[in-house]
Chains A and B, each alone.
Chain A
Amino acid sequence: MLDFAAAIVLLLLGGLLAVVFCARSVVCQTAGQFGAIAGSALGLVSAIRVLLTGKADGISGVWYMPGGGLHFQIDALSAFFLLPVFGLSILTALYGRSYLTDRRSGYALAGSWFHLNMLTAGMALVIAAHDGLLFLLAWEVMALSPFFLVAFDDRKASARKAAWIYLSATHLGTAFLLIFFVLLGELAGTSDFDGYAAALRANPALSSMVFMLALIGFGSKAGIVPAHVWLPEAHPAAPSHASALMSGAMIKVGIYGLVRALTFLGTPQPWWGWLLIALGASSGVLGVLFALAQHDLKRLLAYHSVENIGIILLGIGIGVLGLAEGIPLLAVIGFAAGLLHVLNHSIFKGLLFLAAGAVQHAAHSVELEELGGLLKRMPWTGAAFLIGATAIVGLPPFNGFVSEFLLFYSGFFAVVQPAVNLASAGLISLVVMGLISGLAAACFAKAFGIVFLGSPRSPQAGEAREVARPMCAAMAILALLCLVFGLAAPIVVSALDRVVAAATGLAIGGVRDQLATVTGPLTIAISIFAVLIVIAASAWAIRSRRMALAAVPTGPVWGCGYPHPTPKMQYTASSFAQPLTTQFHFFVRIREALVPPEGYFPATASYSSESSDPFLRRLFAPAFRWFDHLSRMEIIQRGLVNVYVLYLAATLIVLLIWGSI
């Protein structure tokens, strides 16, 4: 536990020193970066130790906060969720320094390091907290730092607006968490996590209500539809390495909270599993559909986070259903799928956001229609994005395939169960996952194809050059992790035993046996992929050798009969996705503005399309307009001390009367 404490201290110290030395940008950057890397490395060590030994690590002390205790504890579940937090923090710090070098004043620089380190420390403290009040305090630290990161470019109105949307969204969720912890504390008579489970066993009638509070509170942090609206606003505005950390790690803390809450709740009700599956299915499908309609690369990636949270929820939902129906294999594989996808998503989504940042850095745009041909100009970034894209689509031999394999496996296992409800749940998850994988493949074929292939669609894209070495290194490490976690799948899955046991409350021996039923098939699958890689590599080598002997002519490609095709005639991102967005127009509304060419000698014509989030437009905007009416209440807020004293006195009198009755 000492290394964990040292990790937090180093993170905070690095952030503080960055602020102190904000006038000297080199010192400021070094302090911030060193604090983040050294602190996170220490934290990573503490987490890995707990995972390897299986011994929970705790520290408790006395403090003077009423209603709460100072109790941190890292068990296998916490340690597992600390991996993406600390791991991504190291890589984003490595990347961030080069990314920020050409940024403006030292003040903004110091702010970004300070808040980035605060965010990492806040997430680590949330995950390690073992006390309700402590959890909420750490949660607030974690929730506030991204506000400043999103508002990094605070001269842009869009960034300020995104930051406010983020802040309101996160606090709506926190409101439910407040009730959640107050209710649990009231039931248990203590704010310590250890008392919660017993308290709920004594009051089983309340468990469904507690579950709903946790689902809304933690779900809004995770970005479940319809509480996802802040993601597509916040991620494009924040610096890319901050987006990577937020999307790769912070939204997972919401999932952590949900899984932790489930451990308090004991044996779940079947309808909780159904609700999670329904929410997961809608987040997954809607997330990827909205992503298809985007032509801002970072917005597109943000919507894919919604999709992947949906996949995670599907896994957890099937696991909960398995627990509720008393089928341990289903519970174990479902939870393993969801939890492994948490880790996998943090790897490939971190990678994709870093690559998007590299594109922004080099081509000064993330607007898909202005990019193109970047693979030739930025081979490292391009290769990294390609690996990330293949992994997120769930294709072998990368890590995304492994967690999706587990999810499909649990779906098929449910389908062959005699019980009708399990079979239908399995079928729903299979169909939804099939649709999601197909649509995700379409979306990333578009994202990679339009940005990195073909020819540049704008002069800036044509002048793009590969980014600095540390940025490439961070992306290369993540790309390698995608491959390693894919090829080492059986080892990774069997290493999940303690984590799944902690999440499900099942005995560790049983969990190991259940996981062993999938590691066998995974081993054969990996050998098949190894054969595939060998075949493809040798075919490639033979072709390359034969081609080296003869000069290979190049020529123009077929341009539909136009003798002089220009880069503007290439297929665009919008036209690539148009058949799908039209097909699903019920969900995805695209506003088009068309100025058609007119007359015999048309001079100008233009077309633009834009898709806005229907939940923001239809649900939240009207709700907030309604809240505006409440501002009439400000007549009671006079700003005069004597009036407030009157309020105090009146309240006291009412309470006294209430008490005497």
Chain B
Amino acid sequence: MAILSSLSSPICALIFAPLLLGIINRTKALVAGRRGPPLLQPYWDIAKYLRRGVVYGKVTTPLFRLGPIVNLASLAVALLIVPFGGLGAALNFSGDLIVLAGLLALGRFATVLAALDTGSSFEGMGASREVHFAALAEPAFFLALATLARVTGSFSLTPIYAGITVNAWIHALPTLVLVAMTLLILELVENTRIPVDDPATHLELTMIHEVMVLDHSGPELASIHYAAALKLWIFGSLFVGVIVPFRSSSFWLDGVAILLGMAVLAVAVGTIESTMARYRLVQVPQFIVGAATLSAVAFIIMLV
């Protein structure tokens, strides 16, 4: 039971992460008045890509193949330190949030270099935007985590999320609301969802993530899609862990509560995507800096 509970959060993530994408797409379809693809479509897509052959660009080096592998591997091991609401992470130590940031950055760096490896101006453009927005999102991420650390008096993810109880919400309501907003914006920014980028379009209309992975094919594309789902899951659980302060110390109750929270988050993201337009590119930095400011204000509230 102990092993089960400590591994529950990475296993849940590995199984259910693509389902989040399915729920988002179904929500968007329903809002638009369509029936939409099946909920499990992301799984079928990944399975299909895994069976397909590959084509490589003429100028590419082995780095092009290595990029998606490193990205997926770093996100997969990051699951070991991400707590799932009240359920602790598999590993928990002071400073694990720094390791999480490092692993996310490593995955991004690998993806960006694989994109630049094609020598295509199109993918260079995507890579340039990715590093731009990531450089602004990183301080926002640390601001949010630092505020949560200040609220709970700990700087390890599992105790932080165990400490966000109903009681904590009563004591630090404004702070937690602001941090939750930051984390929601980061979920949209880091996973390049609307209003930052439109993942539904391909080619020239997409601006960031899909641009970078345009020339990948076959199993590499499958690993990119799966890694994208995992990243959506990681940032999603950081957000849901804050807004669902249900800590019953019962494994099953906590697990069900947080899974429901993730489903609601997916519906919410789908609704945001259906009701908002994509920002112009020059407005995205303001959006991210705004998210950072929210957390800065939250921290100042906690300071006094």
Contacts and interface: CB of A to CB of B under 8 A. Distances in A.
A399 to B, nearest CB: 13
A409 interface: yes
Contacts of B112: 441, 445, 449
Interface string B106-131: 10110011001111111111011101
B69 A536 contact: yes
A514 interface: no
A441 B58 contact: no
Interface stretch (B19-27, B138-146, B168-176, B191-199): B138-146
Contacts of B124: 449, 570-571, 575-576
Contacts of A431: 139, 142-143, 146, 292
B228 interface: no
Contact of A442 (B131, B299, B303): B131
Given A536-B73, A554-B58, A412 B97 contact: yes
A450 B142 CA distance: 29
Contact of A405 (B98, B118, B137): B98
B7 to A, nearest CB: 13
Given A427-B146, A528-B80, A441 B129 contact: no
Interface string B88-113: 00010111111101110110110011
A597 interface: no
Nearest to B135: A438
B268 interface: no
Interface residues of B, number: 80
Contacts of A565: 120-121
Contact of A520 (B56, B93, B137): B93
Interface string A497-534: 00000000000000000000110110011001101100
A434 B122 contact: no
Nearest to B223: A539
A621 interface: no
B86 interface: no
B105 A571 contact: no
Per DSSP, chain B at the interface is helix
B63 A438 contact: no
Given A396-B102, A535-B77, A578 B93 contact: no
A237 B98 CA distance: 38
B171 to A, nearest CB: 15
Which of A386, A439, A536, A555 has the most chain B CB within a 10 Å cutoff?
A536
B109 A441 contact: yes
B53 interface: yes
Contact of A415 (B135, B138, B155): B155
Nearest to B119: A454
A635 interface: no
A74 B210 CA distance: 56
B215 A557 contact: yes
Given A430-B142, A535-B73, A445 B98 contact: no
Contacts, number: 251
Contacts of A373: 59, 119
B304 interface: yes
A434 B288 CA distance: 14
A416 B149 contact: yes
Nearest to A527: B91
A330 to B, nearest CB: 13
B76 interface: yes
A437 B131 CA distance: 11
Nearest to A413: B155
Contacts of A113: none
Contact of A580 (B119, B132, B204, B292): B132
Contacts of A454: 59, 116-119
A427 B137 CA distance: 15
Given A430-B142, A557-B215, A543 B69 contact: yes
B106 A395 contact: yes
A528 B99 contact: yes
A435 B63 CA distance: 26
Interface of B: 53-61, 63, 65-66, 69-70, 72-74, 76-77, 80-81, 91, 93-99, 101-103, 105-106, 108-109, 112-113, 116-125, 127-129, 131-132, 134-143, 145-146, 149-150, 153-155, 204, 214-215, 219, 223, 285, 292, 299, 303-304
20 contacts: A396-B102, A409-B98, A415-B146, A416-B149, A420-B304, A431-B139, A434-B139, A435-B136, A441-B105, A445-B113, A449-B112, A449-B116, A455-B119, A525-B96, A543-B219, A554-B55, A557-B118, A557-B120, A560-B121, A575-B128
